Structure 1
């Protein structure tokens, strides 16, 4: 039985839809999440997560629910120059490895368990969105289940997380803008390859580029660019796959878990919101696979949007704060698309002449120590910060609109990541000493469910002694200043939330 009305209707129950539902559910928001499929798609698809994604999944509470392989490095090889590029991913950033691979069905299962553990969440698989209308104060949607039974549901907000062919995006008149790559690629996922690699490598041969990587469960993935004249039917045969894998010893003994031909895109729509309807994940933007940022960008969408919707639905914030979802997430998603396109030009240069120019130029650049360090430390990757959005403009010791660093804090009982001290609402965080609010602001802060946390000014926070900051639930710095000004910082932050 479907509810007649809910706070939020989520259309799409893939990993981004499930993460969004889980985050909304923890606030007690009434959510109906629907999906056309009867269950989890069991073949692996996305394969990479970075430290930002792991931090979001830490927030969702599913880090223990899926296996990961930590990737120490990403290498690039050219048929003309040999090894010409490396990215060192062995470091930990904000408490998490820079890069891991994972098995998507396992992560999806963990996210769904978390979402369905909330009493306010209703799940309806094998259910299709037939249409909807935004009536200004609510959205009215028509749904149909697998038996053909129709139901009408009203919601305060509707979120399309229904993939690159999003029906929600089309219904609100948004079109993808950008580039569609017509080149076919064959994904091969295998289990049981002997002497598996422990990293990610890109074989940047213009005749047939091949990304190759390790994954959990003794898995290996290859992606082969198809040559002109090679068809899907021809290249998905067992004979063709054996021929493609022949350069890697022992692959004849492995089990092929998945084989699929796909094309990728570099596209985004112009707005991620229209009225009471929002787009997230692949419904809003699709990213070439070379930077591994497709799913990660969707997870950033989910974390950014969930707490804002919950604050508006509970009347703790003005509906105007929802405008910041588009102004924050769309430019960042576009920056990640540009990064992926740039990497794509190195991985699939198109012909030998371009390969020699591009790969040779990068190899020469790496002879310059500062440039080499910049490239090897993922310097070109856009930072997780917003130039414009829901934060108080100005400069402090922290980057307003940027992610608060996460540190591992140690005491006699062991160590904890500092995010574990932050709640699902606004947090006033002081470093090295306690900060106090005057009685009026303290009452307003409590009404907003805000929390106050004091942590030692150690390690990553040593430069913040005597400082405090207002942190959003998605760990973005909303405001910061001297601890003595805590009341004014809190007051300005609450005003921003209520009058945006």
Structure 2
């Protein structure tokens, strides 16, 4: 796919400005869906700085959807335990992430090295002849009309300006988004006054296995061991200190010395930053969409910044595909912000609250916090709530593109993130459920449903361009005429029983569109518009 000054009228489906982790992920998702995509990246070469650091179970499931998870996980580290310690070094809370199962197929805390992750995602473009990355290209402006967008961009090396036509433009260009600024979309929220020093480095020899929040009023800090012997520290800048002082090698050596011999560490990045909690006034401007930090930023205390951008990508990509391929009207795209903004706001609030716990600066308040946290965890249910990471915001949409409209019952299936247990294939191989679903809509039902119900479910799946997947309990004998995946854990059977469902329709992003009794299949089909 070329895009030079002689091809200014070339058409693509989607233009992505920015090829960081969110842009690269979006490019892979669109590539899998057959969407012609052009990515414009200002930097000439991939940056070597480890900025983003953590990923959760939802993020891994999204990477799984790209077909790149196995490759990406080679350069990730699973973290099975996190601790919160006070100024004395004594632990007052712990989270057993390695034993936590939210039902989505992966444990909820993984660390990665961003340069390696970005490289693997960019390599993923090579699978798709209809996806192209052009580096050294800076976004200049965008013009919109009824048919799409015209994007002007500049070659960083030569200053030459080109233009390209596309149906949609996605701004994945970070917190200082040039696209957002060109559209005049304001950010609102709070910039926190505290500045932090972020330090990343590689250790020679064995690395300590750490994930520790140091809630010391004298200097709150965070340290974690990442992939490939990477270490990450975050230190709060204290009153009277300066950026220049904190970023000096000797200062950094003194800060990391309590955790590791500084002589064993090769520092790769040390930078002071101020974190923000901001939201764009709107995430859609006609044919332009904001994703990730271009749309929202949040404090780092739950490691949800990048993952929130990944959720944006997973939510929007399949909707763009359906609109572009004539399977849905443009109004479907309005559900992107409708679904994602409330969840982002909830995650931001959680991050701020965890930050308050983490950053108590008054010694008396910090001591009372430590005592309270240790005391309250004597109650078994409270201890399970903390150790089981139950305070993490669940993936749930109260409104959007779902059967039945806005949720009245918070326990209703619609708008929830479907589980991903292991299932057994007819070959005997056990895999995670998503590996059987494909990249489009899926209709799920029990294998022994009446023949008419199965036929109606299969017809619905085919009309959606997806597939029908049936399942049977492990203890039931298979029938040759009714192949099905085996529910080896019993979790699919339990989920269907809990929601009194005969048929479930999953969206491509694995959220539940609808879960109904068989007699309501016509209503479900009507809501889907097929």
Which runs of structure 2 are paired with 1:252-263 in the superposition (5 Å)?
Answer: 252-263=263-274
Rounded Cα–Cα distance in structure 2 between residues aligned with 1:456 and 1:73: 35
How far does residue 336 in structure 1 lie from its aligned partner after superposition?
Answer: 0.9
* 2:247 maps to 1:212: no
Which runs of structure 2 are paired with 1:219-258 in the superposition (5 Å)?
Answer: 219-258=230-269
Which runs of structure 2 are paired with 1:62-81 in the superposition (5 Å)?
Answer: 62-66=68-72, 67-79=75-87
Of residues 140, 148, 173, the one that matches 2:184 is: 173
Rounded Cα–Cα distance in structure 2 between residues aligned with 1:355 and 1:158: 47
Paired position in structure 2 for 1:455: 471
Paired position in structure 2 for 1:299: 310
Which runs of structure 2 are paired with 1:17-416 in the superposition (5 Å)?
Answer: 17-66=23-72, 67-79=75-87, 82-91=90-99, 92-93=101-102, 94-146=104-156, 147-192=158-203, 196-393=207-404, 399-410=413-424, 413-416=428-431
How far does residue 487 in structure 1 lie from its aligned partner after superposition?
Answer: 4.3
Q: Given that residues 479 and 489 in structure 1 are in contact (C-alpha distance below 8 angstroms), is that contact kept between their aligned partners in structure 2?
A: no
Per the alignment, do residues 246 and 5 of structure 1 end up closer, same or farther by CA in structure 2, a change over 3 Å counting?
A: same
SS of the residue corresponding to residue 301 of structure 2 reads helix
Q: Given that residues 55 and 112 in structure 2 are in contact (C-alpha distance below 8 angstroms), is that contact kept between their aligned partners in structure 1?
A: yes
Matched residues, number: 495
Unaligned runs of 5+ in 1: none
Rounded Cα–Cα distance in structure 2 between residues aligned with 1:80 and 1:416: 46
TM-score by length of 2: 0.88
How far does residue 305 in structure 1 lie from its aligned partner after superposition?
Answer: 0.2
SS of the residue corresponding to residue 182 of structure 1 reads strand
Q: Given that residues 400 and 480 in structure 1 are in contact (C-alpha distance below 8 angstroms), is that contact kept between their aligned partners in structure 2?
A: yes
Paired position in structure 1 for 2:522: 488
How far does residue 136 in structure 1 lie from its aligned partner after superposition?
Answer: 2.9
> More deviation in 126-135 or 426-435?
426-435
Q: Given that residues 471 and 477 in structure 1 are in contact (C-alpha distance below 8 angstroms), is that contact kept between their aligned partners in structure 2?
A: yes
Per the alignment, do residues 275 and 189 of structure 1 end up closer, same or farther by CA in structure 2, a change over 3 Å counting?
A: same
How far does residue 284 in structure 1 lie from its aligned partner after superposition?
Answer: 0.5
Paired position in structure 1 for 2:479: none
> More deviation in 212-221 or 394-403?
394-403
Rounded Cα–Cα distance in structure 2 between residues aligned with 1:438 and 1:220: 53
Rounded Cα–Cα distance in structure 2 between residues aligned with 1:199 and 1:399: 37
How far does residue 407 in structure 1 lie from its aligned partner after superposition?
Answer: 0.6
> More deviation in 458-467 or 471-480?
458-467
How far does residue 436 in structure 1 lie from its aligned partner after superposition?
Answer: 5.1
Q: Given that residues 129 and 142 in structure 1 are in contact (C-alpha distance below 8 angstroms), is that contact kept between their aligned partners in structure 2?
A: yes
How far does residue 486 in structure 1 lie from its aligned partner after superposition?
Answer: 7.3
Rounded Cα–Cα distance in structure 2 between residues aligned with 1:441 and 1:488: 10
Paired position in structure 2 for 1:14: 20
Rounded Cα–Cα distance in structure 2 between residues aligned with 1:287 and 1:116: 33
How far does residue 287 in structure 1 lie from its aligned partner after superposition?
Answer: 1.3
Per the alignment, do residues 39 and 456 of structure 1 end up closer, same or farther by CA in structure 2, a change over 3 Å counting?
A: farther
> More deviation in 438-447 or 417-426?
438-447
String of CA shifts for 1:202-249, please: whole Å, max 9, x gaps: 010112111011101112111111112222222222211111122224
How far does residue 492 in structure 1 lie from its aligned partner after superposition?
Answer: 2.8
Q: Given that residues 403 and 524 in structure 2 are in contact (C-alpha distance below 8 angstroms), is that contact kept between their aligned partners in structure 1?
A: no
Rounded Cα–Cα distance in structure 1 between residues aligned with 2:461 and 2:380: 49
How far does residue 386 in structure 1 lie from its aligned partner after superposition?
Answer: 0.2
SS of the residue corresponding to residue 83 of structure 2 reads strand
Q: Given that residues 457 and 468 in structure 2 are in contact (C-alpha distance below 8 angstroms), is that contact kept between their aligned partners in structure 1?
A: no
How far does residue 39 in structure 1 lie from its aligned partner after superposition?
Answer: 2.3
RMSD of aligned residue pairs (Cα, Å) = 2.3
Per the alignment, do residues 159 and 402 of structure 1 end up closer, same or farther by CA in structure 2, a change over 3 Å counting?
A: same
How far does residue 142 in structure 1 lie from its aligned partner after superposition?
Answer: 1.2
Q: Given that residues 436 and 486 in structure 1 are in contact (C-alpha distance below 8 angstroms), is that contact kept between their aligned partners in structure 2?
A: no
How far does residue 115 in structure 1 lie from its aligned partner after superposition?
Answer: 2.6
How far does residue 321 in structure 1 lie from its aligned partner after superposition?
Answer: 0.9
Q: Given that residues 443 and 460 in structure 2 are in contact (C-alpha distance below 8 angstroms), is that contact kept between their aligned partners in structure 1?
A: no
